[in-house]
C-alpha cells in the first residue's frame, strides 16, 4: 500500500490523485517536501471504547461563522463512491478550523455579491473515515458505485494510482471540498440507492442532478477530467472552475490541482496533526457550535 499522501490517504498537503505516469514527478515532489506525520494532541488519537475524542478549541461549525454557505455533505449520506454512510459522519456538518471558516466567509461574501453561493461537500474528515475508504478499496468485490464515480478506473489500481491512501489533509481541519451554485439556488435531486448510475464524466444534463454550476465533472469524480486545468475542459466549464479558484485564492486558499473542488487554507493551524473526533456538534467546545 502506498505511503504517499493523498486527499483520501497519506498527505503532504491534501493528496495525490493523478494517473501514474502524469503524477509520478508530482508525487515525488510532494513526498520530498512533506513533513512527517506526527502524533497529534489527544483529539487526533483513535477513541477509547466508550469515550470519543474532542476537537481542539480552534475548530468550529461553519454555520456558526456563516449560515449562508450551502451544505451537501456527501459522506453523511449513501451518495458517495463507497455507497454507504462513512464512518465518523454522525451529522451533515462542515467542521473546520476557525481561520479556514472565516476565510470561507470572506470568499462567500464576494461570491454572493456576484450572484453565487459556495456549497460545501466535505470539510474536516476524521481518520476513521479515511480508514473506511481504505477498507473499501481493499474489497475488490464491492463496486456498487463504479459507474458513477470511477467509470474508467480499475478498482485494483486505486492505491497505485493515488486515489486512495492512509491519511488525508482533510483530517487536519483546514481543507474543504466545495463548488459554486448560482443564486437563487435550485434543488439538488434526491439520491435513491439502487437507481441506475450515470458516469461523473457525462454531460451535466445526464449526470446526477447537482445544483452546482457546470464544472465539467461531478464531485468526487476519479478521472483526469477532474484536474482543475485539464485542457479538455473549456468554455463555461473552465470559466466556472477559474471563478471558484480565483475567488478562493483571494481568501487564502490553495487548490489541489488534481481536483477542481479541493482547497486548503494556508497557513494551516495543525499542519502535522490528523484528528479522529466524529463529525458532530458534541465534538466541539461551546463557542464553536451552531444552533440546531
Active site residues: 259
CA distance 287 to 292: 14
CA distance 262 to 12: 14
Helix (H, G, I), strand (E, B) or coil at 33: helix
If you ran DSSP here, which 8-state letter would residue 48 be given?
B
Are the C-beta atoms of residues 241 and 216 closer than 8 Å to each other? Answer: yes
* Helix H or strand E segment including 98: helix 98-113
C-alpha cell belonging to residue 23 = 503524477
Write the burial class of residue 48 (CB in 10 Å: 0-12 exposed, 13-18 middle, 19+ buried): exposed
CA distance 18 to 116: 29
Are the C-beta atoms of residues 173 and 17 closer than 8 Å to each other? Answer: no
- For strands 70-71 and 116-122, give the pairing: parallel
If you ran DSSP here, which 8-state letter would residue 232 be given?
T
CA distance 137 to 142: 8
* Intra-chain end-to-end CA distance of the chain, in Å: 41
Q: Which of 48, 47, 11, 45 is nearest to 27 (CA)?
A: 11
Amino acid at each position: 500500500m502506498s505511503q504517499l499522501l493523498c486527499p483520501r490517504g497519506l498527505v503532504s498537503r491534501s493528496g495525490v490523485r493523478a494517473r501514474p505516469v502524469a503524477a509520478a514527478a508530482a508525487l515525488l515532489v510532494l513526498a520530498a517536501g512533506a513533513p512527517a506525520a506526527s502524533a497529534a494532541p489527544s483529539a487526533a488519537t483513535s477513541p477509547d471504547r466508550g469515550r470519543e475524542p474532542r476537537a481542539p478549541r480552534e475548530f468550529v461549525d461553519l454555520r456558526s461563522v456563516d449560515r449562508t454557505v450551502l451544505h451537501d455533505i456527501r459522506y453523511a449520506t449513501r451518495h458517495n463512491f463507497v455507497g454507504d454512510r462513512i464512518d465518523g459522519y454522525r451529522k451533515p456538518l462542515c467542521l473546520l478550523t476557525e481561520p479556514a471558516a472565516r476565510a470561507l466567509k470572506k470568499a462567500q461574501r464576494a461570491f454572493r455579491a456576484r450572484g453565487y453561493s459556495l456549497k460545501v461537500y466535505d470539510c474536516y474528515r476524521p481518520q476513521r473515515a479515511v480508514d473506511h475508504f481504505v477498507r473499501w478499496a481493499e474489497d475488490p468485490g464491492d463496486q456498487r458505485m463504479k459507474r458513477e464515480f470511477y467509470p474508467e478506473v480499475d478498482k485494483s489500481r486505486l492505491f497505485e494510482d493515488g486515489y486512495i491512501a492512509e491519511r488525508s489533509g482533510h483530517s487536519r481541519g483546514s481543507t474543504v471540498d466545495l463548488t459554486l451554485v448560482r443564486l437563487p439556488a435550485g434543488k439538488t435531486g434526491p439520491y435513491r440507492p439502487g437507481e441506475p448510475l450515470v458516469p461523473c464524466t457525462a454531460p451535466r444534463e445526464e449526470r446526477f442532478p447537482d445544483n452546482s454550476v457546470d464544472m465539467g465533472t461531478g464531485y468526487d469524480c476519479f478521472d483526469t477530467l477532474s484536474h482543475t486545468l485539464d485542457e479538455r475542459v473549456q468554455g463555461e466549464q473552465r470559466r466556472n472552475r477559474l471563478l471558484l479558484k480565483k475567488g478562493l485564492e483571494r481568501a487564502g486558499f490553495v487548490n489541489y490541482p488534481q481536483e477542481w473542488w479541493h482547497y486548503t487554507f494556508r497557513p494551516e493551524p495543525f499542519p502535522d496533526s490528523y484528528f479522529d473526533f466524529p463529525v458532530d456538534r458534541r465534538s466541539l467546545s461551546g463557542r464553536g457550535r451552531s444552533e440546531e
